[in-house]
Structure 1
Amino acid sequence: MTIEIFNKQIIRNYLLVLATVMTTSIGIAELFHSPNRLAKENKLKSYAPYLNAGFVNYGIDFLHSDSAVISP
């Protein structure tokens, strides 16, 4: 694998993660500002530890994997 392809994959993966985080953040913020629309604020707060654990677990797996770049 050449450096150019590796850099393109890193940029692509970064943009995918960025778009996912932005979309999720906007969705969660919308739920907190109008909890009657889709969910209650307390219910969302109860999901936070599970989301945090999932993100930490994915980050650890990502750092310890042999091929850290997701191929198409």
Structure 2
Amino acid sequence: MFKQFLERAEGNQVYLLSSLGIFMLFFLLVGILLLTMKKEEVNYMSNLPLNGEEGQNQNNSTDERSYN
């Protein structure tokens, strides 16, 4: 299937195929990263918005990552 696309690619189609390849590569890498991520790290990041209190400056928080 991809061989036919590459054989018929002329002119600007090379740019279209390369952008499609970069798009697919990016999302494959992100998917692999998410599947190999530790559960503790996922839990820590999922609770990040909930850890801060209202009125507290988020830049001065003293929370340490508990999954290390």
TM-score (norm 2): 0.43
Structure having the higher Rg: 2
TM-score (norm 1): 0.41
- The answer to which structure has the higher helix fraction is 1
